[in-house]
């Protein structure tokens, strides 16, 4: 398929909205599961957007900005994963690997902004000392505008203007290289999920992970909804069990406190 000018503009507008949210970390609509789904809707292939969003979300599950560090940008990676998969008829796993250069391009642009926007600090200090709240608030819109426009321009050039060179690049790749990108893209979701588990997984929750793995990979079925419902059941069991344990612990502390008071009285 070929991306039309209207679709390119819509992708740019969507990149600006998601990019602003990525900069502000407000509503988390910049996550790949949402970015890819909306991009697929713009390109007329919602199913592709949902599939690519699920894979890309897992790949970025354990990556998050912390301090001055900045991982590859999720907005550009999500958009270009769907764009590459749709325009070149490639698998989403292959498209993830091919979209990483665009994500890293936006990553370096944002890192440049982190440094260059420090030039505004002297103005902020000046307005704060003067008590000029109006100018102080107005100055905040300058970096926001620069960031939003950058997301829109980069997304438009990558998705619309560069689609012909991208198509030539993908079609000229040998089969072994394309297969390599497919394998790398297939591994990335597992790596992202593993990074997330390294932070969040506790020993007492490992049996649930093991049960979920057995159900998801050892039992052949095409609908993953039963696995999700089983996960909800286990989550409810754990939730109500922890509430009961908390009540018992609070009751024991209360009894211990009363016992101490009685000993003091005696």
The structure tokens 């990676």 sit at 77
Q: How far apart are CA 46 and CA 50, in angstroms?
A: 6
Q: What are the residues whose beta carbons fall under 8 Å from the beta carbon of 143, sequence distance 6 or more?
A: 113, 117, 120
Residue 69 confidence class, pLDDT cut points 50, 70, 90? low
Report the percentage of the chain scoring pLDDT > 90.
Answer: 17
Q: Name the E strands within 96-233.
A: none
Residue 262 confidence class, pLDDT cut points 50, 70, 90? low
Q: What is the mean pLDDT of the chain?
A: 82
Q: 3-state DSSP call for residue 3?
A: coil
Instruction: Give yes or no for residue 141 having a pLDDT over 80.
Output: yes
Report pTM. Answer: 0.71
Q: Which of 1-10, 150-159, 184-193 has the lowest mean pLDDT?
A: 184-193
Domain ranges, ordered by start, for the chain: 5-200, 202-266
∠ CA 23-29-31, rounded to 5°: 85
3 vs 191, residue with greater confidence: 3
Q: How far apart are CA 195 and CA 143, in angstroms?
A: 32
143 token code pair:
């970096």
Tell me the mean pLDDT in the region 171-180: 72
Task: Tell me how crowded residue 11 is: count the other CB atoms within 10 A of its CB.
Answer: 25
Instruction: Give yes or no for residue 209 having a pLDDT over 70.
Output: yes
Please tell me the predicted confidence (pLDDT) of residue 201: 73
Please tell me the predicted confidence (pLDDT) of residue 87: 87
């Amino acid at each position: 398929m070929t991306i039309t000018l209207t679709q390119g503009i819509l992708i740019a507008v969507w990149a600006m909205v998601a990019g602003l949210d990525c900069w502000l970390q407000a509503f988390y609509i910049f996550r790949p599961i949402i970015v890819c789904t909306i991009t697929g809707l713009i390109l007329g292939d919602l199913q592709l957007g949902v599939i690519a969003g699920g894979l890309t979300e897992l790949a970025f599950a354990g990556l998050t900005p912390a301090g001055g560090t900045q991982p590859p940008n999720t907005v550009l990676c999500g958009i270009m994963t769907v764009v590459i998969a749709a325009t070149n008829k490639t698998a989403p796993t292959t498209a993830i690997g091919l979209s990483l250069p665009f994500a890293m391009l936006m990553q370096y642009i944002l890192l440049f902004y982190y440094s260059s926007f420090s030039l505004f600090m002297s103005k902020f200090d000046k307005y704060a000392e003067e008590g000029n709240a109006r100018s102080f608030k107005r100055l905040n819109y300058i970096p926001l505008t620069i960031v939003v426009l950058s997301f829109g321009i980069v997304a438009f050039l990558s998705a619309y203007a560069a689609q012909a060179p991208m198509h030539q690049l993908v079609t000229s790749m040998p089969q072994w290289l394309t297969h390599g990108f497919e394998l790398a893209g297939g591994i990335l979701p597992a790596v992202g999920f593993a990074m997330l588990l390294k932070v969040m997984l506790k020993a007492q929750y490992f049996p649930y992970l093991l049960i979920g793995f057995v159900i998801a990979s050892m039992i052949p079925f095409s609908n993953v909804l039963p696995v999700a419902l089983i996960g909800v059941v286990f989550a409810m069991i754990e939730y109500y069990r922890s509430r009961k344990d908390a009540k018992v612990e609070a009751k024991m502390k209360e009894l211990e406190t009363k016992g101490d008071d009685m000993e003091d009285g005696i």
